[in-house]
Amino acid sequence: MSTSAAEVARAEAPAAGLARALPAQVGLAVAAVGVLVVVALVMRFVTLGERAIHHDESLHALFSYRFAEGKGYQHDPLMHGPLQFHFVALSQKILGADDATTRVPAAVFGAMLVATPLLMRRHFGTAGVVFAALGLAFSPSLLYYTRFAREDPYVLVATAVLAFSIWRYREEGGMRWLVAIAIAIAAEFATKETAYLFMAVFLLYVNGALTGVLLDRLGVEGGARVARGLLLFPVAWLVAATWPMSGERFGGGERPREVDLMVVLGTLTLPFLAAAFQLPLHLVGIELEGQSERVVGGLLVSAMIVASGEIGVWWDWRRWAVLAAVMYGITILLFTTFFTNPVGFAGAFWTQLDYWLAQQAVQRGEQPLYYYAFMVPQYEAMALVPAVIGGAVLLRRGHRLPKLLVWWVTGTFIALSMAGEKMPWLTVHLALPLAILAGYALGKGFEAARAGGGNLLRPRLIPVALGMALLFVYAVRTGTAVSYAHPDTPIEPLIYTQTSADIPAIARQLEALAAERGGKDRLTIIVDSSESMSWPWAWYLRDFPNTSYVERIDEETLPPGAILLLWDGTLRGHAALRDRAVTIEEYRHRWWFPEEGYRSWTPRNLVGRAADGSLFGDLVSFIANRESAEYLGTLEGVALFPEDPPALTMPTTGVSYGR
């Protein structure tokens, strides 16, 4: 049957129209997100150095400073992976070393995160991309902790790239997405041990997706699909690993992309899991230490590398060689500090997981199981509400992409809640997928409204728009308060514990006094290291060569004319030290949010307080006013000067310190 030229033209018209419209839509998305990235940069850079440096930040800052000064760097799992130290050292080297430049890389990555939804513009649409970027830019927890010298901003970008690359490869194929996955995996493990949790989340997703594909190939439908799926899910990964042999049992033919993803994710992750083989040994009472740990650890790491290589070569040796070179190249260069620290190789594939597993029993923070259920609604309501509602609607309609996004949120929530250490900065790893899911859902809703006649002023849409506007205002108010109004004062749980503004003020006194005397080497400073008071003093006094950190004060051997920075409890035990000082200044070293309230929650008291209305009233009062500074826990310090120092100048924060 012949086809006329007119019929061909009519058939090709929609495709031609789409081809013309797509560049315009892409250009609009890029332009809108570009504006949001600039806004995000401004929000993250303004007053970046005014908040006192946190205890953890000071560790990262000082060791990066030594690295920048040419004194080298060695990976220590206590301070997580090496990626942050390379970026911070570079920033300090180029821009100089201070609180602000230490935070510059985190701020830059925070702005980069806002651009990551562009990787999904084909699947999100312009509206979805813009809504997602908007959520990432204005999320209160993301704003606060991307102005913070921690590892999390780097992890966030790597996790977003990993998630989006998994989806793009599953839908479209293409080696570039596998390379992006290899880079993201290397960056995750070179940054923070949360990589183990997030890799588990995505491996489970791919394993589930592969299970569905294998059931389709077997032609399993209806009620039998659930039963067969439950049997197949635990071994789907094994089918992928042995596909050249097992593929024929599932219809043969072209290899599913889910097999590729399972092999790539699995083989590139496997070498990092070697230390986990200690867990069954622990169960039977065998502990690896010293030489035995080095020997067994070396054998296990080698075995994991060889096993992953054999599977990868069996899968596709050309592609796997490229991906392995990318992942191992990045990992080894960073952990060995460009081959200046060969022991760092063990840090990558053994030490970091070995240390992290041991720390799970410590449970720093001692937070309850429901900690993130308490944190997320306070700070991420703008994303939480549309993510929950929109995700449920889209799942019910059978959309595929929401399955990944909903599992990303759910799996991360479960993983972080079950982990031994729960901290407020980890809230950002829930804020990320929530913002992405919310953006996707809002974008689909916007597109559906336009497709339904273009009338965006329908009554049902107006309440939705007003509701989102109110949530946006709440997010801006909350983010502004925590990041700019009282960033040094932990009157809300997101800040948790924080160095007070007193410390940089006293550091400025010491700088001024050193200038009066003709140099920092003219001052002798003794810092009391009890109660972890060495930090952040070690950062602020990094250029004072005659500074000592002591656990016990010996009054008889103190150098004459020394400036003493003590815990007030130490001074109470050495009252005679007061006679050595001309000026004594009390200061607040660090303070923390009072957590007794929410930690005491139980189902019974929550139900009772909800019934009498006190719970709702307390929540509204707290959201509106936060905690009073006079109820904060504090560690008090005392500065003893042998002469009158320059006047103490405290920053203006607008917050009462409760003194």
Q: Predicted confidence band at 610 (pLDDT cuts at 50, 70, 90)?
A: confident
Given a cut of 90, is residue 388 above it in pLDDT? yes
Rounded distance, CA 549 to CA 541, Å? 11
Give 224-252 pLDDT, tens digit per residue. 899 999 999 999 999 999 999 998 888 87
Q: What is the pTM of this model?
A: 0.91
Rounded distance, CA 53 to CA 650, Å? 15
pLDDT value at residue 658? 31
Helices 428-451 and 152-172: crossing angle in degrees, nearest 10, is 40
Given a cut of 60, is residue 111 above it in pLDDT? yes
Comparing CA positions, the residue from 41, 15, 160, 29 lying closest to residue 443 is 29
Give 448-469 pLDDT, tens digit per residue. 888 766 566 677 788 888 999 9
Given a cut of 90, is residue 103 above it in pLDDT? yes
Q: Predicted confidence band at 22 (pLDDT cuts at 50, 70, 90)?
A: low
Helices 152-172 and 257-269: crossing angle in degrees, nearest 10, is 150
pLDDT value at residue 187? 97
Given a cut of 70, is residue 2 above it in pLDDT? no
Rounded distance, CA 438 to CA 442, Å? 6
Residue 527 φ/ψ, nearest 5 degrees: -110, 125
pLDDT value at residue 16? 45
Give 492-521 pLDDT, tens digit per residue. 999 999 999 999 999 999 999 999 999 999
- Give, as one character, the DSSP assignment of residue 3: -
Those residues whose C-beta lies under 8 Å from the C-beta of residue 295, and which sit 6 or more positions away, are none
Comparing CA positions, the residue from 258, 246, 245 lying closest to residue 212 is 258
Q: Which amino acid is present at 463?
A: P
Q: 82 vs 329, 344, 649, CA distance in Å?
A: 14, 10, 36
Q: 326 vs 45, 85, 157, 564, 645, CA distance in Å?
A: 32, 20, 18, 51, 55
Give 319-331 pLDDT, tens digit per residue. 999 999 999 999 9
Rounded distance, CA 27 to CA 344, Å? 44
